[in-house]
Structure 1
């Protein structure tokens, strides 16, 4: 058979690769290409998550928000909610440190019973001592009594509880006071259902503040709003010639309580009845004006420890007296 001659390798020379990349053509790739081209053309349209910023910068931004804004921010996304929950104490501390310097020292939290020495708890909760506190645990119609099993019932903590419960109640009636509408009167010896629901709701808010620094700060925000509205009402009352705090519009816009550090009328007396709300201007308990220092002096946070020490000594005296009485009976 005849062999068919073909070109030698030398005649063919080096092979040339002429393969090309296939062009992908589909609706999906075309949409992706247009979307990418649009981003490159208009980079400002690219959204950026706040949480992508450095931690300290995010914290600094949140510090300028009000507590109510922080609660609203929690509802934006799960990421924001988790971030705020994890750093709640630090965020609240940063907000309070410049917005509510005065209110923080006026409205301290009562101490939870679980934080008191277990050896002292029986003294604080004893029935004999609870009977002695009847005068300080009056059944106010606008304040729900505290639970002795939940918080300390030393005199300091009782006053702290009542003052905190007053904040949401006073805020609740601001619309009535601004509009000049009378607050509903409650006849003596009667406690209507609507009032029970209201003071129970107020107590629930205070209980949240006992465990949440943000809720504590939220109470400060509410009371600062009530205070500024009250000062405005009293300033507009031409018949009221009483001394009051000097408050400018800039103070209101700033959203800080620093103007309450100025000289003004003392207002530490507890409003025992809602009738006191009409003339109440700035309820700021646990402080008094020092003429010598020309500044406000605040009740120290250690006052609770002083009261606990007094309760311990009282319990020891009662115990010794009972032992002596028992020995006398035996003789």
Structure 2
């Protein structure tokens, strides 16, 4: 029998692939890696150092930021998110005191119905009284009517709600106004779905501001930005000879509203339609210029209480008259 000699491949056994990818070695790649590592380390050290600072110092640093910066900072880490959520009301109040001292007096928050005395709520929510407000009968197309079960509908709170909704809507159309693109017009008697969705989204943002001081500060920031852009547009129009607010480049970039305290044109008329946005320079309601003292006079914060007292007194009078009328009817029946 013939003997079979093993081949050379059989003697070598099973081959294993032990090749490895050659490491990339170039000075350019090494510099990029070192730069990225240094950048990551620097960011980590800065973040860690900030949170390791004394509590009071961290608060003071955060009050120097804009509200939009704080919302972005909340997304950085759980530590930042928890810190800002816990001390958000104090931080927001401090920011508004120096950035939006004027705007916070022009745009006060409406009072939630749950904060109103229960004995007065029935007078405020009476159907006869709500029917007197045209905003409930014929709502504006660019702002949503308030929910009477959610917020107080005294005249003061009603105007506050409408003004806050206007902030969001005016901010939404700033790009169109900057670019000179027409704002879509809505035909009389029509209310398209896109507009219903837009004003509902705007109202949802305002509702956040009713419960969160940081969201309230964010609204004021948005309106200051819209006002600055509007004043800049009108200033660039050389043919516009109307009296305007004076604003320097430094004031425009400051992120504060101090320049709005100077004398300027009346700016409290409510824009009843989006057509008014084209000529709107600065919407600053609830104030008027006092020529004698040469300063702006603002509607006091307690105006809501005065409205509530008036509504309650009128309600009690109507209730008393209704009770007297009810008592008088049986007596007249007996005489008959």
Q: TM-score, normalised by structure 1?
A: 0.85
Corresponding residue SS for 2:108:
coil
Structure 1, gaps ≥5 residues long: 1-41
Q: 1: distance between equivalents of 2:250 and 2:63?
A: 19
Corresponding residue SS for 2:297:
strand
**Counterpart of 1:77?**
77
Q: 2: distance between equivalents of 1:203 and 1:46?
A: 41
Distance 1:135 1:178, change over 3 A: closer
**Counterpart of 1:302?**
302
**Counterpart of 1:155?**
155
The aligned runs of 1:276-287 (5 Å cut-off) are: 276-287=276-287
Q: 1: distance between equivalents of 2:115 and 2:44?
A: 52
Distance 1:65 1:308, change over 3 A: same
8 Å contact 1:137–1:145 — kept in the other structure? no
**Counterpart of 2:327?**
327
Shift of 1:137: 6.0
Q: Is 2:238 the counterpart of 1:238?
A: yes
- The size of the alignment, in residue pairs, is 290
8 Å contact 1:100–1:257 — kept in the other structure? yes
Shift of 1:329: 1.8
Q: 1: distance between equivalents of 2:286 and 2:279?
A: 20
Distance 1:136 1:193, change over 3 A: closer
Corresponding residue SS for 1:49:
helix
Shift of 1:252: 1.2
Shift of 1:64: 0.9
8 Å contact 1:247–1:259 — kept in the other structure? yes
Give the superposed CA RMSD. 1.7
Shift of 1:67: 0.2
Shift of 1:44: 12
Corresponding residue SS for 1:101:
coil
**Counterpart of 1:252?**
252
Distance 1:263 1:127, change over 3 A: same
**Counterpart of 2:133?**
133
The aligned runs of 1:51-66 (5 Å cut-off) are: 51-66=51-66
Shift of 1:240: 1.5
Q: 1: distance between equivalents of 2:94 and 2:242?
A: 35
Shift of 1:247: 0.2
Shift of 1:133: 2.1
**Counterpart of 2:90?**
90
Q: 2: distance between equivalents of 1:303 and 1:45?
A: 50
Which protein is bigger by CA-based radius of gyration? 1
Distance 1:124 1:62, change over 3 A: same
Shift of 1:94: 1.0
Shift of 1:46: 5.2
Corresponding residue SS for 1:144:
coil
The aligned runs of 1:1-331 (5 Å cut-off) are: 47=46, 48-134=48-134, 138-330=138-330, 331=332
